[in-house]
Chains A and B, each alone.
Chain A
Amino acid sequence: MSLQVPTMAEKIAKGESPDILFWVGCAGSFDDRAKKITKALVKILNHCNVSFAVLGTEESCSGDPAKRAGNEFTFQMQAMMNIQVLNGYEVKKIVTACPHCFNTLKNEYPELGGNYEVIHHTQLIQELINQGKLSLQNSETFKGKKITFHDPCYLGRANDVYEAPRSLIEKLDAELVEMKRCKSKGLCCGAGGAQMFKEAEKGNKEINIERTEDALETSSQFIATGCPFCNTMMTDGIKNFEKEDSIKVLDVAELIANAADL
């Protein structure tokens, strides 16, 4: 079945107002790996008949990397333009699969005039399961498999969301194995604070390698992530250790979509 991805403009033209806006984010829109996460989430939304829309070509960078890099001008320009668009469509609720967009929209937009209820996609999926709209019963895909969850800094420490992604992994009937540094003590993947877009400073190791070692220690078959940037960093780390065959990096949305056979 092909994906149903209505835009806000289309919805409004039809006189409909969707319940929730899916904020795709730059990585989710352009990065080949992250696009798969985007699609997995859309499959779930379609399957559950969620009334949603995207901004499509009207979406622009949330401004997070600019702000963390110290360029407040660029950040606020982005923020205010986005807020104009969002307020124009009278958006109330936003879901995103990117913790950086999540954090910025949720915490930094309100003072600039953008007040929305912002949730992370793992929280939305959790809601859908709790409401009975999505069922993972009888799914054997991940039964008995070991999965470890890497906490994205901007979801965990930055916003205290630790349970939603974990509860989803537990729904898979899989064994959730924690890394030695997890939850509020989780180690960064190395991408935050605009590091994704530059070489690291001089040191004796890459941060994603250090973090991949934590994950490998758990001898899991899957590393679950909730952030497109963490996903890239961990995937690169696994490649570095040439472990692509024994351990896969998947977003929680992908795990769920696979398990539900979507």
Chain B
Amino acid sequence: MTIQIILFGLISIAGIGFFAYNIWKIRDNIRIGKDTKRNDKKTERIKTMILVAFGQKKMFSRPIAAFLHLCLYVAFVITQIELIEILADGLSGKHRLFSNSLGSFYVFTISFIEILSVAAFFATIIFLARRNLLKLPRLNMKEMMGWPTKDANLILIFELILLVCIFTMNGTDEVLFNRGISHASDVQGSFGFTISSILGPLFFDSMSNSSLLILERIGWWGHFLMVIGFLNYLPYSKHFHILLAFPNTYYSNLEKKGKFDNMQSVTNEVKLMLDPSADPYAVDPNATPPSRFGAKDVNDLTWKNLMDAYTCTECGRCTSSCPANVTGKILSPRKIMMDTRDRLVEYGDGKRKNGKDFEDGKSLLGDYITQEELWACTSCNACVDECPVNIDPLSIIIDLRRFLVMEESKVPNELTGMLTNIENNGAPWQFSQNDRLNWANEE
């Protein structure tokens, strides 16, 4: 018993410790981003978070997927209650510590978890089938090949194993209790859990006492190890969204979607150009000149852009609503988010290893995202509207465009003409400003 307790304690500490280390790394990476103000309107932010993350409001435009997802999500959250007992049992060497003291409330709670687990079990199977048999287009696009698809399947398989462990643990214990040898009680009887009181006898009745005792332990340890494993898998996976969805929706952009930020650095220069007598330092004495206009790499983006990248679930709702993507262009807003995350992980690791001035000659723009992708965007905001966790791929696209245009003068030819016209005659076409009112007198 003591060995079990020690082992349990060590695995818990190692598991939670490693998880904490990874969280710290991700936090460190997100802080590479530039500042942006997202601390105002706290009530509205909390409301958004409750509706969008907790209530999954935006999922419901696709009701079937939303319902299945809800099953998994609720089961996941509620199952964590059981974790409290696992921790208590594991550290005390007791068995079902709360079953006596909580009585019928205990039976209710575990039964509730069991029912949700059955729902989650079926939801998982359907999700697996949808991905692998039905080959839902949005889940099988180019950027999903390789690791992303494996990641998605792995987590579903994890989920299945976890559920099997839960029912093995409860089912065998039920049979043991029927026989009067469960560690939970010295009398004979039934726990009365809704599902396992049926499944237990059905599957395990023919087994010997000793095999049952071993199997029960396998279920219990399996459950615990899956949870620790899952926890440590999260930071490497798109499933990190189950945690980041909350802060990410809290820090949502609350402005109208059409509003793009006005670059302060440009404002200062334009003011000087229009009014040479203006004091260059009057605008903001603390303003440091920007290292560059727009974004070339992840360190030019805002921390919210970077948090977005870690929150992306790779569901592809953005991409399947993107007018450019549905008409065959290579732009995919999901890929923009996945690229940003991949580059951020690479950049962050490099920085931690090689110090602050780390340079690897690579950048988000160019090595990950191409100009062709950027210029295909119509800035229609469909991706932003669609995202179930309020991610904004458009703001990354625009910041990368700004770098292309303002730092590198890499503008598609026709747009150069348009821009010159605006500068010369105040319209995107070559018409004189003096002719602007001609329409009023034309027939």
A167 touches B (CB below 8 Å) = no
B258 touches A (CB below 8 Å) = yes
B199 touches A (CB below 8 Å) = no
- Encode contact with A along B424-443: 1 for CB under 8 Å, 0 otherwise: 00111101011111111010
CB distance from A65 to the nearest CB of B (A): 5
CB distance from A122 to the nearest CB of B (A): 16
| Interface pair A190/B323, CB less than 8 Å apart | yes
Q: Which residues of B contact A74 (CB under 8 A)?
A: 419, 422-423
Q: Which residues of A contact B169 (CB under 8 A)?
A: none
| Interface pair B381/A158, CB less than 8 Å apart | yes
| Interface pair B436/A56, CB less than 8 Å apart | yes
| Interface pair B329/A57, CB less than 8 Å apart | no
| Interface pair A78/B436, CB less than 8 Å apart | no
Instruction: Mark B residues whose CB is within 8 Å of A.
Output: 61, 255-260, 262-263, 266-267, 269-271, 273-274, 293-294, 321, 323-324, 326-331, 372, 375-382, 384-386, 398, 401-406, 411-415, 417-419, 422-423, 426-429, 431, 433-440, 442
CA A107 – CA B259 in complex, angstroms? 5
Which of A45-84 touch B at CB < 8 Å? 54, 56-57, 59-61, 63, 65-74, 76-78, 80-81, 84
Q: Which residues of A contact B271 (CB under 8 A)?
A: 80
Partner of B380, one of A59, A65, A71, A157: A157
A142 touches B (CB below 8 Å) = no
| Interface pair A198/B414, CB less than 8 Å apart | yes
Of all chain B residues, which has the CB nearest A99? B258
Of all chain A residues, which has the CB nearest B414? A198
Q: A108-B260, A187-B323, A187-B382 in contact; A61/B328 too (CB < 8 A)? A: no
CB distance from B59 to the nearest CB of A (A): 14
Q: Which residues of B contact A198 (CB under 8 A)?
A: 375, 412-415, 418
CA A202 – CA B375 in complex, angstroms? 11
CA A54 – CA B441 in complex, angstroms? 14
Instruction: Mark A residues whose CB is within 8 Å of B.
Output: 3, 5, 7, 24, 26, 28-30, 35, 38-39, 42, 54, 56-57, 59-61, 63, 65-74, 76-78, 80-81, 84, 103, 106-108, 111-112, 153-154, 157-160, 184-185, 187-188, 190-207, 209-211
Of all chain A residues, which has the CB nearest B426? A60
CA A103 – CA B423 in complex, angstroms? 21
| Interface pair A154/B402, CB less than 8 Å apart | no
CB distance from B373 to the nearest CB of A (A): 8
| Interface pair B255/A65, CB less than 8 Å apart | no
Top 6 A-B pairs ranked by shortest CB distance?
A158-B258, A193-B379, A204-B328, A60-B426, A70-B401, A203-B328
| Interface pair A73/B269, CB less than 8 Å apart | yes
| Interface pair B323/A188, CB less than 8 Å apart | yes
| Interface pair B406/A56, CB less than 8 Å apart | no
CB distance from B221 to the nearest CB of A (A): 47
Q: List 8 A-B contacts (CB under 8 A).
A: A77-B273, A157-B258, A191-B378, A193-B377, A201-B331, A202-B329, A203-B324, A205-B328
CB distance from B34 to the nearest CB of A (A): 15
| Interface pair B323/A207, CB less than 8 Å apart | yes
CA A188 – CA B269 in complex, angstroms? 34
| Interface pair B266/A194, CB less than 8 Å apart | no
| Interface pair A210/B329, CB less than 8 Å apart | no
| Interface pair A81/B385, CB less than 8 Å apart | no
| Interface pair B293/A72, CB less than 8 Å apart | yes
CA A76 – CA B415 in complex, angstroms? 17
CA A70 – CA B385 in complex, angstroms? 21
CA A71 – CA B411 in complex, angstroms? 10
Q: Which residues of A contact B423 (CB under 8 A)?
A: 74, 77
| Interface pair A76/B266, CB less than 8 Å apart | yes
Partner of A69, one of B255, B323, B324, B418: B418
CA A23 – CA B83 in complex, angstroms? 63
CA A42 – CA B403 in complex, angstroms? 41
| Interface pair B398/A70, CB less than 8 Å apart | yes
| Interface pair B436/A157, CB less than 8 Å apart | no
Q: Which residues of B contact A72 (CB under 8 A)?
A: 262-263, 266, 293, 402, 406
Of all chain B residues, which has the CB nearest A186? B382
| Interface pair B328/A70, CB less than 8 Å apart | no
Partner of A207, one of B263, B324, B404, B427: B324
| Interface pair A157/B385, CB less than 8 Å apart | yes
Q: Which residues of A contact B328 (CB under 8 A)?
A: 202-205
Known: A103-B259, A188-B380. 16 other contacts (CB 8 A): A26-B426, A61-B428, A68-B260, A72-B263, A72-B293, A73-B406, A80-B271, A108-B262, A153-B379, A157-B381, A159-B258, A160-B256, A188-B382, A194-B415, A205-B328, A209-B327
| Interface pair A201/B330, CB less than 8 Å apart | yes
CA A68 – CA B433 in complex, angstroms? 22
CB distance from B296 to the nearest CB of A (A): 13
Q: Which residues of A contact B398 (CB under 8 A)?
A: 68, 70
Partner of B378, one of A67, A190, A202, A203: A190
Of all chain A residues, which has the CB nearest B418? A197
CB distance from B408 to the nearest CB of A (A): 10
Of all chain B residues, which has the CB nearest A26? B427
CA A186 – CA B331 in complex, angstroms? 19
Q: A24-B436, A26-B429, A210-B326 in contact; A195/B378 too (CB < 8 A)? A: yes
| Interface pair B329/A111, CB less than 8 Å apart | no
| Interface pair B414/A199, CB less than 8 Å apart | yes
| Interface pair B378/A153, CB less than 8 Å apart | yes
CA A76 – CA B418 in complex, angstroms? 16
Q: Which residues of B contact A154 (CB under 8 A)?
A: 258
| Interface pair B427/A194, CB less than 8 Å apart | no
| Interface pair A69/B378, CB less than 8 Å apart | no
| Interface pair A207/B378, CB less than 8 Å apart | yes
| Interface pair B376/A201, CB less than 8 Å apart | yes
Q: A57-B436, A70-B404, A107-B256 in contact; A207/B327 too (CB < 8 A)? A: yes
CA A228 – CA B54 in complex, angstroms? 40
Q: A72-B406, A157-B380, A157-B382 in contact; A203/B329 too (CB < 8 A)? A: yes
Q: Which residues of A contact B433 (CB under 8 A)?
A: 57, 60
CA A187 – CA B406 in complex, angstroms? 30
| Interface pair A205/B327, CB less than 8 Å apart | yes
